[in-house]
Structure 1
Amino acid sequence: MTGISKLLMTLGVIIFVVGFLMQFISLGKLPGDILVKKGNTTFYFPIVTSILISIILSAIFYFIGRFR
Protein backbone atom coordinates (compact mmCIF):
# COMPACT_ATOMS: atom_id res chain seq x y z
CA MET A 1 0.00 0.00 0.00
CA THR A 2 2.87 2.40 0.63
CA GLY A 3 4.02 2.03 -2.99
CA ILE A 4 0.78 3.50 -4.30
CA SER A 5 0.85 6.42 -1.89
CA LYS A 6 4.47 7.16 -2.77
CA LEU A 7 3.63 7.07 -6.48
CA LEU A 8 0.64 9.38 -6.02
CA MET A 9 2.69 11.87 -4.02
CA THR A 10 5.43 11.83 -6.67
CA LEU A 11 2.91 12.39 -9.46
CA GLY A 12 1.34 15.22 -7.46
CA VAL A 13 4.69 16.94 -7.06
CA ILE A 14 5.43 16.53 -10.77
CA ILE A 15 2.06 17.98 -11.75
CA PHE A 16 2.58 20.89 -9.35
CA VAL A 17 6.06 21.67 -10.72
CA VAL A 18 4.90 21.42 -14.34
CA GLY A 19 1.93 23.68 -13.59
CA PHE A 20 4.20 26.21 -11.91
CA LEU A 21 6.67 26.21 -14.79
CA MET A 22 3.91 26.58 -17.40
CA GLN A 23 3.30 30.09 -16.07
CA PHE A 24 6.75 31.15 -17.23
CA ILE A 25 7.23 28.99 -20.35
CA SER A 26 5.09 29.64 -23.39
CA LEU A 27 4.59 26.31 -25.14
CA GLY A 28 2.39 26.03 -28.17
CA LYS A 29 3.87 28.65 -30.48
CA LEU A 30 7.27 27.15 -31.18
CA PRO A 31 9.04 27.36 -34.54
CA GLY A 32 8.12 24.27 -36.52
CA ASP A 33 4.51 24.12 -35.37
CA ILE A 34 2.18 24.07 -38.36
CA LEU A 35 -0.46 26.82 -38.64
CA VAL A 36 -2.72 27.10 -41.69
CA LYS A 37 -5.33 29.86 -41.97
CA LYS A 38 -7.77 29.90 -44.89
CA GLY A 39 -10.86 32.02 -44.68
CA ASN A 40 -12.78 31.19 -41.51
CA THR A 41 -10.87 27.95 -40.92
CA THR A 42 -7.73 27.59 -38.85
CA PHE A 43 -5.71 24.38 -38.61
CA TYR A 44 -3.01 24.15 -35.95
CA PHE A 45 -0.73 21.12 -35.56
CA PRO A 46 1.85 21.53 -32.75
CA ILE A 47 4.42 18.98 -33.97
CA VAL A 48 7.49 20.52 -32.27
CA THR A 49 5.56 21.13 -29.05
CA SER A 50 4.43 17.49 -29.05
CA ILE A 51 7.99 16.24 -29.54
CA LEU A 52 9.28 18.49 -26.75
CA ILE A 53 6.58 17.34 -24.31
CA SER A 54 7.30 13.72 -25.24
CA ILE A 55 11.01 14.14 -24.47
CA ILE A 56 10.29 15.84 -21.14
CA LEU A 57 7.78 13.17 -20.06
CA SER A 58 10.15 10.37 -21.13
CA ALA A 59 12.91 11.86 -18.97
CA ILE A 60 10.55 12.25 -15.99
CA PHE A 61 9.31 8.66 -16.21
CA TYR A 62 12.87 7.39 -16.68
CA PHE A 63 13.98 9.06 -13.45
CA ILE A 64 10.89 7.84 -11.58
CA GLY A 65 11.63 4.28 -12.71
CA ARG A 66 15.31 4.59 -11.87
CA PHE A 67 14.78 5.74 -8.28
CA ARG A 68 11.94 3.36 -7.50
Structure 2
Amino acid sequence: MDFGKILVVIGIVLIVIGISWSFIGKLPGDITFKKGNTTVYFPIVTSIVISIILSLIFFVIGRFR
Protein backbone atom coordinates (compact mmCIF):
# COMPACT_ATOMS: atom_id res chain seq x y z
CA MET A 1 0.00 0.00 0.00
CA ASP A 2 1.55 3.30 -1.01
CA PHE A 3 1.80 6.40 1.14
CA GLY A 4 -0.97 8.28 -0.71
CA LYS A 5 -3.60 5.63 0.03
CA ILE A 6 -2.59 5.54 3.68
CA LEU A 7 -3.06 9.31 3.94
CA VAL A 8 -6.49 9.08 2.29
CA VAL A 9 -7.60 6.35 4.71
CA ILE A 10 -6.31 8.33 7.71
CA GLY A 11 -8.16 11.41 6.43
CA ILE A 12 -11.43 9.50 6.04
CA VAL A 13 -11.10 8.04 9.52
CA LEU A 14 -10.47 11.50 11.00
CA ILE A 15 -13.49 12.94 9.17
CA VAL A 16 -15.76 10.16 10.44
CA ILE A 17 -14.47 10.62 13.98
CA GLY A 18 -14.94 14.38 13.77
CA ILE A 19 -18.51 14.13 12.50
CA SER A 20 -19.55 11.49 15.01
CA TRP A 21 -17.80 13.16 17.96
CA SER A 22 -20.81 15.30 18.81
CA PHE A 23 -23.08 12.24 19.01
CA ILE A 24 -20.79 9.94 21.02
CA GLY A 25 -21.89 9.55 24.60
CA LYS A 26 -25.23 11.26 24.09
CA LEU A 27 -27.14 8.53 22.33
CA PRO A 28 -30.45 7.23 23.63
CA GLY A 29 -29.94 3.75 24.99
CA ASP A 30 -26.73 4.55 26.86
CA ILE A 31 -27.32 3.73 30.52
CA THR A 32 -26.22 6.06 33.32
CA PHE A 33 -26.62 5.41 37.04
CA LYS A 34 -26.04 8.30 39.45
CA LYS A 35 -26.10 7.91 43.20
CA GLY A 36 -24.42 10.46 45.42
CA ASN A 37 -20.90 11.16 44.18
CA THR A 38 -20.75 7.98 42.09
CA THR A 39 -21.70 7.78 38.41
CA VAL A 40 -21.64 4.53 36.43
CA TYR A 41 -21.95 4.79 32.65
CA PHE A 42 -22.67 1.92 30.23
CA PRO A 43 -22.34 3.15 26.60
CA ILE A 44 -24.25 0.26 24.99
CA VAL A 45 -25.63 2.05 21.92
CA THR A 46 -22.46 4.10 21.49
CA SER A 47 -20.44 0.85 21.39
CA ILE A 48 -22.74 -0.59 18.73
CA VAL A 49 -22.47 2.56 16.58
CA ILE A 50 -18.66 2.62 16.87
CA SER A 51 -18.56 -1.07 15.94
CA ILE A 52 -20.67 -0.47 12.81
CA ILE A 53 -18.54 2.52 11.76
CA LEU A 54 -15.28 0.61 12.23
CA SER A 55 -16.69 -2.39 10.34
CA LEU A 56 -17.59 -0.15 7.40
CA ILE A 57 -14.15 1.49 7.43
CA PHE A 58 -12.36 -1.87 7.45
CA PHE A 59 -14.67 -3.15 4.70
CA VAL A 60 -13.78 -0.17 2.51
CA ILE A 61 -10.07 -0.60 3.24
CA GLY A 62 -10.34 -4.30 2.36
CA ARG A 63 -11.96 -3.50 -0.99
CA PHE A 64 -9.00 -1.34 -2.05
CA ARG A 65 -6.41 -4.02 -1.39
Normalised-by-shorter TM-score class: 0.7 to 0.9
RMSD: 1.9
TM-score by length of 1: 0.76
SS at match of 1:27: coil
Q: Give the gaps of 5 or more residues in structure 2.
A: none
**Which of 17, 22, 32 is the matching residue for 1:35?**
32
The count of corresponding residues between Structure 1 and Structure 2 is 65
Of all paired residues, the percent bearing the same amino acid is 55
Runs of 4+ with deviation above 2 angstroms? 4-8
1:16 is matched with 14
Larger RCO (alpha carbons 8 Å, 6+ apart): 2
TM-score by length of 2: 0.79
2:53 pairs with 1:60: no
Q: Give the gaps of 5 or more residues in structure 1.
A: none
